[in-house]
Amino acid sequence: MNNRQTFILLVSIFICAGLFSQTSTIGNSLKKNVEILASDSFEGRGFKCSSKALTIDFLTREFAEAGFAPLHGSYQQKFMDFSYLAAAEGTNIIGVIEGTDSILKNEYIVLGAHYDHLGWNMEDSVKVIFNGADDNASGVATMIETGKKLLLNRSQLKRSVLLIAFDGEEAGLKGSKDFVDKKVVDLSKIKVMFSLDMVGMYKKNDGLNIVGLYSLENGTNLFADPLNRSGLKVKKTKNSIERRTDTKSFGDKQIPAIHITTGLLSPYHKPEDDSDSLDYKGMSRIADLVSDYCIVLSNEDSLMASNAFATTKDEANDAKSKTNNSIFSIGYDLGAGSNYHFYKNEFFNAKPVFAFEGGLSSQLKITKNFILQTEINYEYLGSESVFGTMRTHSIVPAMDLVFTTNNKRKDGTFFFLSAGGFYRYNFAGSTDVKNMSVFSAYNHDEFGVKYGVGFQLKKFQINFHSKLGLTPIDKSLPNSGVFNRGKYISIVRFF
């Protein structure tokens, strides 16, 4: 071997060693990332666990170290969630790999994977942590891995790729929904979305499931070559978009959305879902397949929703009825009826007079049969007796527990019974009773109960209710037992 040959051999060895070490670092980081995310110190990455900050810090650092760029100057997209009575902050972690084509780089392929899991429980005073290695540390690690592979082949990537670790998936697809609702990037620029959710059990499931390929025009054909090159086996495909994970949020906005998973042969939502049970080789091959497919898609002149998907109005309608069916809504209410003074200790009663109420209402759907409805109304009511007529103006906050037939039906209709309480502040009044001013005789403050029946058609509610005062309102004769009794029919319009 002459000097020149020796030199070439040495250079080749260095290049090979370099390439090898690069590939093996990638493989190692896949496993390392799962081990960290699914370690006990991350406490199962529960949406509302305080330890979630660890996950957020870790992923932010990983995204930066991997070389993904921040979006609009930050890796973190925060959002607030107000369901389940207490407010909580959510954080999506977002990184960008910019495409190399001067025009196509303005369009995005989204690679998503939710990072939250179920947190932990106390069972018989033992802390049980749901580490969620397959669900979904596997998806997050594989997404980061895919991003690293794309960076290595960036010269071939024409469109830009957004890598998003979504928060709050287990709590109801909250992170992905917020991302599309807020239009963090112009939704018309997102050409396709992938969700990697539970990709760590390739061997056990003996294949992959690809759900929603049809939503992308020519998506199945374009997938054939990368799939062949990967040598991976696809076990199940399904035409419809997967609605149990983040693909739903994008599909509802008519964005083609493809769910990739190794399936449910997994310790799904069990405390045994730990990092030592995953198939890291399989995950690395899935990262190869997804990065290859991304590059193929990024090179297409145009990426569009398939006709079949674009004309599937189901998703859009579902999305619509979902908004009608949102957990919390606010509206206004108007009611009319009658009110009279009930004299508990007398043989006579007053006559009812016209009563009116109007104000703001809110509705919190707690379960499919149970709603908390609150309102704050202005009320105009009164009573007529042989001595004359009396009228009051009041402010009345009230709260009802509402027991409903299934209130989550798609068409948004249900019937209900309600029961609750109110406080009435009588702030002004008038009377034609001689020698009497209203508040010399009557209290400003009053408490009472209410009950009713009604039905709701999407955003309209009609209810009949009675309001029974429990505080005697006549202060000049505390034992007289004079109480307000009212009946109303009211319409509530929720936005």
Region of 105-113, 190-198, 200-208, 278-286 interacting with Zn ion (CB under 5 A)? 190-198
C-beta of 247 vs 490, nearer to Zn ion: 247
Q: Are 56 and 130 in contact (CB under 8 A)?
A: no
C-beta of 136 vs 209, nearer to Zn ion: 136
Region of 15-23, 192-200, 336-344, 419-427 interacting with Zn ion (CB under 5 A)? 192-200
C-beta of 109 vs 198, nearer to Zn ion: 198
C-beta of 99 vs 212, nearer to Zn ion: 212
Region of 194-202, 289-297, 345-353, 442-450 interacting with Zn ion (CB under 5 A)? 194-202
CB of 380 to Zn ion, least distance (A): 54
C-beta of 135 vs 375, nearer to Zn ion: 135
CB of 268 to Zn ion, least distance (A): 8
Cα 381 to chain centroid distance, Å, stands at 42
CB of 197 to Zn ion, least distance (A): 4
Q: Which of 494, 495, 489 is nearest to 334 (CA)?
A: 489
Does 262 contact Zn ion by CB under 5 A? no
Q: Report the residue count for the chain.
A: 495
Classified as helix, coil or strand, 433 is: coil
Q: What is the DSSP letter of 117?
A: B
- According to DSSP, the residues that pair with 372 across neighbouring strands are 364, 401
Q: Are 140 and 222 in contact (CB under 8 A)?
A: no
Does 135 contact Zn ion by CB under 5 A? yes
Region of 101-109, 135-143, 318-326, 450-458 interacting with Zn ion (CB under 5 A)? 135-143
Binding Zn ion (rule: CB under 5 A), the pick from 81, 107, 178, 197 is 197
Q: Are 475 and 490 in contact (CB under 8 A)?
A: no
CB of 24 to Zn ion, least distance (A): 28
User: How many positions of this chain bind Zn ion (CB under 5 A)?
Assistant: 3
C-beta of 272 vs 314, nearer to Zn ion: 272
C-beta of 130 vs 293, nearer to Zn ion: 130
How far apart, in Å, are the Cα atoms of 126 and each of 36, 116, 119, 120, 123? 22, 22, 14, 10, 5
Report the distance separating Cα 203 and Cα 279, nearest Å: 7
Looking up tokens 């009230």 gives 398
C-beta of 269 vs 410, nearer to Zn ion: 269
Phi then psi for residue 59, to 5 deg, are: -65, -35
Structure tokens at 376: 């704050």
Does 81 contact Zn ion by CB under 5 A? no
Phi then psi for residue 158, to 5 deg, are: -90, -45
Region of 92-100, 130-138, 327-335, 470-478 interacting with Zn ion (CB under 5 A)? 130-138
Binding Zn ion (rule: CB under 5 A), the pick from 55, 77, 136, 363 is 136
C-beta of 135 vs 379, nearer to Zn ion: 135
Region of 145-153, 156-164, 191-199, 286-294 interacting with Zn ion (CB under 5 A)? 191-199
CB of 116 to Zn ion, least distance (A): 9
Region of 128-136, 216-224, 335-343, 438-446 interacting with Zn ion (CB under 5 A)? 128-136
CB of 135 to Zn ion, least distance (A): 4
Binding to Zn ion, residues 41-80 (CB under 5 A): none
Q: Which residues contact 19 (CB under 8 A, 6 or more apart)?
A: none
Phi then psi for residue 423, to 5 deg, are: -120, 135
Report the distance separating Cα 326 and Cα 84, nearest Å: 13
Q: Are 404 and 371 in contact (CB under 8 A)?
A: yes
Helix ranges (H only) for 299-444 are 307-310, 313-324, 438-441
Q: Which of 246, 273, 456 is nearest to 363 (CA)?
A: 456
Q: Which residues bind Zn ion (CB under 5 A)?
A: 135-136, 197
